[in-house]
Every structure is written in structure tokens, then in C-alpha cells.
């Protein structure tokens, strides 16, 4: 047995990529076993951006955590804060006023526009289509300007506070948003034309990384990746939160399941988001922006789910009645979708790997988390701060002495 | 300089080298545990609205081709060795720019168990760009200031600075 394995290892040719690599701006290590140009096995090593946020929240109070959790991810910071606020509000037994909920939805949709534009640029870059990359990022500045005009910041907008939102939208802001949106809508139609007609881009996307509906269900993908395979999964419709029951978003589905479908689904989602924002602006409910949330939250457990630009984002929040949470668990969409990359990679050319990976819109700073799995038994294992830190140090010492 | 050339010739050569360096600094970017906020702002700096290529700035894939290392985020345990390795692979002279509050002080992640510290505990940093995240204009300003101090000879050569352990 041992000798067989040994021979097999000699024949293998493994290409390591990362954690510093030109393709993505985030650290992740991949190993592709290749036979000539064809990938026969793929594996991933994550955790370069693991900072220990889930443990960190336990030593900060409820309000401070809002700012820490926004920084789980710089691209979808608003959805993280929304999920956290919705969960804490549920625990405290309060509900944010309708106007605040509508503004939450509006900012979330603006964020989706900025995230999808960013993603389109990165994907175009991976495809070797840098012109499209530069154009999309130029147009993306429009939505960044809108976000800055309404919140005062380009990236971490900090729209949410516990019990509501921080800023109101006046007529002037609404005008700015409408103007920006009509420009973006026109550009999105143009990009939709480009990605479905440009011969070069189609060669890199059509028929690449095809995931059937059955496969999508088995692997458990979520978000636009699932919707591109015809799997109707969208938290905004399945379990409406914030103001999504009042201002629903149409679901965008595609049954082709390849990379091209993922591009088209995301671009059509842009149009859907633009339309939704217009509805919200037309019909913004009047009223207060915040309700009072107590400093100490009642003991209990709550879950909240929101639809991030990449898929379902899940928060579990447990309170013990003090000023600080007892436990917060975050489940981000990228890790759910990562399995699809590793499965689909087999049989494809090595050159398709960056495109396949970009196809799920990975976000490594979201997905680098640690989990302790305990099989059987009901004795509670308690991890203290010191124990966790010591475990980390020992773990990496062990790794450093190895291959890496 | 190891070449045994007359002083005049040596000075002229140095001038040409500085001129070349100031006009085409190539960057390498490493995210050692950042939230992406700074990374996308760095990328935005290179795209048409801000257009860092006006200053000859180009993002490079390989550390061996780069002059400036742009670091974002606090340093996590796992990326610590990688960051040091990337720095060591870069040819001399090399410069380090720390972008964002986390890179400068650990920022909001200060005290998280897997964060070992900030960039200048590990590498000698030449330019700090604060902000969470800094605006693209701020990043451009930082880069231009770095280039100017390089031109004026204000930055000491790296050979004289020891690496932190």
C-alpha cells in the first residue's frame, strides 16, 4: 500500500498557487495536481486572513461589536452589520422603524451594485480582458460616489446602529442616487451586451465550469452561483428581512450553469437592484430612524439571515444578559461555494482556474474561520482566550516546521 | 557600489538610477489579514478615476520584480512568515508602505488572538497611510510623497536597517 502511494506521488505534478498571487487581492493557497494541462485534483488551504473576530466579539460590548463586525469584510460590510443588528434587535425585543428598514435595504442594494461591479472587473481581468476591467471600475466609482454622498464614507458606510440607521435620505440625496442609477443602468445594459457577444470573453466563459442543478444542490452552493444553475435560493425572497417584504426583489435565474450564466445572472441582478432602489426612493416610508435599544441585552439566542452579494450570510447570537455577547457565530457564503470550485476544477485546463475561482466571487477575509468539531458526548469543552491563543501558536509552529 | 569607477561617473550613474526608480516604481501588494477594504481602494487607485499609472506605478505579480511592497491589514499568525518571505525576495532597494489603520496599529483587530501585530513590528516601514480605509487620493498622496523623498535622498538605504525578528 505504502509503495503504491509512493509511486503515485512521484507521478503527480502539483502546481502551488498563493498565498501571494497576482490573480486575486486576497491570500489563499491552492494546489492543483495536473496531468499535462488538465487539472486532476484541486485542494485549497485557507486561513491566512483568520484574525479571530468571533472570539474578539466576546470581549467587546454590543455597540463596539457593530464596528468590529463591519470589518469582517470590506466589500460587504453593510450586510454583516445588518445581520448583526437584526439579530440583536430580535434578542432585545425591539424592531427598527419602517423608514430605517427601508434605508437598510437601499444601502444593501447599493452595496450589491458596488460588489457586482467590482466582481465583473476582477473576472474580466482574470479573462485577460483588462479593458472591461478598467471600464467597470471607472463606472463603479459612480456608486461609490453615491455611497459617499449618503453616508460619508466610501467603504465602511456604518449605516446601521442598533435599533435603526444613522442617516436619513432627503430629496437632494434621492436626486443624486437617481442620477447615478440611470447612468449605471445604461452601462449595465452595455456590459450585458459585451459579455454575451464578445468572442474572446465567451471563449473563456461559455461551457466552462458547468454545474448542473443536481450538482448545485448536492454541493450546497448559494447566492448567484446557485441561481446561475437554476437553483432558486435567495434569502431576500425565502425569508424577507428589513424591508424586503415591502419592496421585493425579483429572482434572477439561469439554467445553463456555466461561467457565462454566472456573469449574466450577476449583471441582471444589477438591473434588479437598480429597479428596487428606485421603488424604495419613490415610496420611502416616513417616520423615525431609530428606536431605543437597552445597553444590556436580555439572555437568549437568536439567528438572523441576510442575502449578501455572494449568498446567504448567517449569524448566530447568544446573549447572557450582560453588556457583551456570549457567543457570535458567523457563516459566510464563500466557504459554501468554495467546494464547487474544487469539484468543478477537475477536468478543466489550468488556465481556467482563475476564472473558475473568480466565478464564485470569493471573499477570503470572510471565510477564514476556525471550527472545533466534537463527535458524540455531551460534555462541554470550554475554550478560554489563553487556550485558543496557545492552540494557534502551536498549530502554526507545527505547520512552519513542515513543507510551508 | 561595488564597481570601482571614478566618483564623477559613479554620481552620474546614481542620478540615472534614482531617475529611473522615481519614474517607474513597481508595486507588489500583500494582504496579511485585512478586511479587503484597503485592498479594493488600492485597486481603485490604479483604475481610471485616480490613475496611479500617471506616476509610472504598476502592480506586479512577482516580488522579484517589485520595488514597493504595499501591505494592508494586521499581521496574522499564518501570514507572518509569508509576508517576511515576500519582503526578502524583493531586490534592493525596496520600500514598504503600510496602508490603513490595521497595518499601522492593528486597528479594530488589536487584541484578537490570531493577530500578532502590525506591519512595522515585522518590516521597516517607509510610509504610513492612515484611514479605514484610506481614500484613493490618500494612497496616491502617500505614494507621491514616498517618490519625492526617494528623489531628494531622504530615505536611508535599506542595507543599514535591520529586520525585526
Q: What is the pLDDT of residues A117-150, one digit of tens each?
A: 999 999 998 888 989 999 999 999 999 999 999 9
pLDDT at A177: 94
Q: Is residue B10 part of a domain?
A: no
Q: Which residues of chain B have pLDDT under 50?
A: 158-160, 165
Q: Is residue B4 part of a domain?
A: no
**Residue A62 pLDDT class (50, 70, 90 cuts):** very high
Higher local confidence (pLDDT), A6 or B44: B44
User: Distance (Å, rounded) from C-alpha A315 to C-alpha A209?
Assistant: 30
pLDDT at A22: 67
Higher local confidence (pLDDT), A367 or A250: A250
pLDDT at A113: 94
Residue of A nearest to B36 (CA): A74
Q: Is residue B5 part of a domain?
A: no
Strands A38-45 and A29-35: antiparallel
Contact flag B79-A392 (C-beta cutoff 8 Å): no
Contact flag A49-B48 (C-beta cutoff 8 Å): no
pLDDT at A8: 53
A134 CB neighbours in chain B (<8 A) are 47-48
Chain A nearest-CA distance from B108, in A, is 6
pLDDT at A1: 42
ipTM reported for the complex surpasses 0.90: no
pLDDT at B59: 85
Q: Is pLDDT above 80 for A367?
A: no
Bridge partners, A306 (sequence order) = A313
Q: Is pLDDT above 80 for A102?
A: yes
pLDDT at B152: 79
The conformation of residue A290, written as its DSSP 8-state character, comes to B
Q: Is residue B60 part of a domain?
A: yes
pLDDT at A299: 93
User: Distance (Å, rounded) from C-alpha B165 to C-alpha B157?
Assistant: 19
User: Distance (Å, rounded) from C-alpha A321 to C-alpha A300?
Assistant: 8
- Residue with cell string 439572555: A299
Contact flag B36-A25 (C-beta cutoff 8 Å): yes
Structurally, how many domains does chain B consist of?
1
Count CB-CB contacts under 10 A for residue A167.
15
Contact flag B35-A72 (C-beta cutoff 8 Å): yes
Q: Which domains, from first to last, does chain A contain?
A: 55-326 (1.10.645.10)
pLDDT tens digits for range A236-279 = 999 999 899 999 999 999 989 899 999 999 999 999 999 999 99
Count CB-CB contacts under 10 A for residue A75.
24
Whether B101 and chain A come into contact, CB under 8 Å, resolves to: no
Mutant choice from A47, A71, A72, A111 vs B, greatest count of B C-beta within 10 A: A71
Whether A21 and chain B come into contact, CB under 8 Å, resolves to: yes
pLDDT at A7: 54
Contact flag A56-B42 (C-beta cutoff 8 Å): no
A75 CB neighbours in chain B (<8 A) are 36-37, 40
B47 CB neighbours in chain A (<8 A) are 121, 133-134, 137-138, 141
Torsion of CA A196, A200, A201, A206, to 10 degrees: 80
B48: domain CATH number is 3.40.50.12280
Q: Is residue B138 part of a domain?
A: yes
Say which of A71, A74, A404 has its CB closest to residue B40.
A74
Q: Is pLDDT above 80 for A401?
A: no
pLDDT at A100: 94
* Mean of pLDDT values over A52-74: 90
pLDDT at B160: 46
Bridge partners, A313 (sequence order) = A306
**A221 near A340, Cβ under 8 Å?**
yes
> Minimal CA–CA distance to A92: which of A80, A84, A81?
A84
* Mean of pLDDT values over A331-358: 87
Output helix, strand, coil percentages for chain A, rounded to the nearest 5.
50, 15, 35
A 44-83 residues inside an 8 A Cβ radius of B: 47-53, 55-56, 59, 67-68, 71-75, 77
Q: Is residue B70 part of a domain?
A: yes
Instruction: Give me Rg for the CA atoms of chain B.
Output: 16
pLDDT at B93: 83
Q: Is pLDDT above 80 for A396?
A: no
B 133-162 residues inside an 8 A Cβ radius of A: 133, 135
**Residue A360 pLDDT class (50, 70, 90 cuts):** confident
> Minimal CA–CA distance to B40: which of B69, B68, B62, B70?
B70
**B18 near B59, Cβ under 8 Å?**
no
Residue of A nearest to B32 (CA): A49
Q: Which three cell numbers stand for residue A324?
A: 457583551
Q: Is residue B26 part of a domain?
A: yes
Q: What is the span of the domain harbouring residue B77? A: 17-148
pLDDT at B81: 87
**Residue A399 pLDDT class (50, 70, 90 cuts):** low
A59 CB neighbours in chain B (<8 A) are 111
> Minimal CA–CA distance to A72: which of B11, B14, B6, B109?
B109
Contact flag A137-B43 (C-beta cutoff 8 Å): yes
Residue of A nearest to B37 (CA): A74
Q: Is residue B163 part of a domain?
A: no
pLDDT at A403: 45
How far are the Cα atoms of A21, A77, A217, A357 from residue A337, in angstroms, in the given order?
A: 20, 19, 11, 10
Contact flag A51-B114 (C-beta cutoff 8 Å): yes
Say which of A27, A77, A134 has its CB closest to residue B47.
A134
pLDDT at B58: 86
Q: Phi and psi for B32 in degrees, rounded to 5?
A: -100, 25
Strands B58-59 and B26-31: parallel
Q: Which three cell numbers stand for residue A55?
A: 472570539
Amino acid at each position: 500500500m505504502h509503495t503504491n502511494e509512493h509511486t503515485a506521488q512521484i507521478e503527480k505534478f502539483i502546481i502551488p498557487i498563493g498565498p501571494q498571487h497576482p490573480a486575486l487581492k486576497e491570500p489563499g493557497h491552492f494546489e492543483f495536481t495536473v496531468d499535462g494541462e488538465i487539472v486532476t485534483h484541486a485542494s485549497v488551504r485557507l486561513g491566512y486572513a483568520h484574525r479571530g473576530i468571533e472570539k474578539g466579539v466576546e470581549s467587546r460590548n454590543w455597540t463596539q461589536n457593530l464596528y468590529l463586525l463591519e470589518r469582517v469584510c470590506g466589500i460587504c460590510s453593510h450586510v454583516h452589520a445588518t445581520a448583526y443588528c437584526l439579530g440583536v434587535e430580535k434578542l432585545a425585543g425591539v424592531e427598527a422603524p419602517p423608514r430605517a428598514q427601508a434605508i437598510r435595504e437601499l444601502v444593501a442594494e447599493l452595496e450589491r451594485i458596488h460588489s457586482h461591479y467590482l466582481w465583473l472587473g476582477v473576472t474580466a481581468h482574470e479573462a485577460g480582458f483588462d479593458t472591461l476591467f478598467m471600464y467597470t471600475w471607472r463606472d463603479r466609482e459612480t456608486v461609490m460616489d453615491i455611497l459617499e454622498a449618503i453616508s460619508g464614507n466610501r467603504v465602511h458606510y456604518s449605516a446601521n446602529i442598533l435599533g435603526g440607521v444613522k442617516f436619513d435620505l432627503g430629496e437632494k440625496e434621492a436626486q443624486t442616487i437617481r442620477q447615478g442609477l440611470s447612468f449605471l443602468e445604461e452601462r449595465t445594459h452595455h456590459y450585458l451586451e459585451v459579455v454575451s457577444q464578445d468572442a474572446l470573453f465567451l471563449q473563456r466563459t461559455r461551457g466552462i465550469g458547468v454545474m448542473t442543478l443536481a450538482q448545485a444542490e448536492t454541493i450546497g452552493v448559494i447566492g448567484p452561483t446557485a441561481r446561475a444553475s437554476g437553483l432558486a435560493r435567495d434569502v431576500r425572497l425565502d425569508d424577507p428581512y428589513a424591508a424586503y417584504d415591502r419592496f421585493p426583489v425579483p429572482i434572477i435565474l439561469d439554467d445553463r450553469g456555466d461561467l457565462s450564466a454566472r456573469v449574466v445572472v450577476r449583471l441582471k441582478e444589477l438591473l434588479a437592484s437598480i429597479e428596487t432602489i428606485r421603488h424604495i426612493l419613490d415610496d420611502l416610508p416616513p417616520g423615525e430612524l431609530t428606536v431605543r435599544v437597552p445597553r444590556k441585552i436580555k439572555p437568549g439566542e437568536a439567528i438572523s439571515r441576510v442575502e449578501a452579494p455572494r449568498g446567504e450570510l448567517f449569524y448566530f447570537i447568544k446573549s447572557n444578559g450582560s453588556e457583551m455577547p456570549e457567543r457570535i457565530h458567523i457563516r459566510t457564503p464563500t466557504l459554501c461555494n468554495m467546494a464547487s470550485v474544487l469539484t468543478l476544477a477537475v477536468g478543466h485546463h489550468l488556465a481556467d482556474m482563475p476564472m473558475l475561482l473568480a466565478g464564485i466571487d470569493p471573499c477570503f477575509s470572510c471565510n477564514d474561520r476556525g471550527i472545533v468539531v466534537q463527535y458524540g458526548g455531551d460534555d462541554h469543552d470550554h475554550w478560554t482566550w489563553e487556550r485558543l491563543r496557545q492552540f494557534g501558536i502551536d498549530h502554526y509552529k507545527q505547520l512552519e516546521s513542515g513543507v510551508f | 557600489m561595488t564597481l570601482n569607477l571614478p566618483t564623477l561617473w559613479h554620481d552620474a550613474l546614481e542620478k540615472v538610477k534614482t531617475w529611473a526608480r522615481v519614474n517607474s516604481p513597481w508595486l507588489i501588494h500583500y494582504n496579511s489579514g485585512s478586511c479587503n477594504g484597503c485592498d479594493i481602494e488600492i485597486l481603485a487607485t490604479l483604475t481610471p478615476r485616480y490613475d496611479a499609472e500617471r506616476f509610472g506605478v504598476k502592480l506586479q505579480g512577482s516580488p522579484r520584480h517589485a520595488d514597493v511592497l504595499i501591505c494592508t491589514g494586521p499581521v496574522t499568525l499564518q501570514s507572518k512568515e509569508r509576508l517576511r518571505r515576500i519582503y526578502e525576495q524583493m531586490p534592493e532597494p525596496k520600500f514598504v508602505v503600510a496602508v490603513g489603520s490595521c497595518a499601522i496599529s492593528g486597528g479594530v483587530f488589536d487584541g484578537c488572538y490570531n493577530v500578532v501585530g502590525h506591519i512595522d513590528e515585522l518590516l521597516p516601514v517607509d510610509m504610513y497611510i492612515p484611514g479605514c480605509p484610506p481614500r484613493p487620493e490618500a494612497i496616491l498622496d502617500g505614494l507621491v510623497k514616498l517618490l519625492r523623498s526617494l528623489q531628494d535622498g531622504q530615505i536611508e538605504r535599506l542595507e543599514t536597517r535591520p529586520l525585526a525578528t
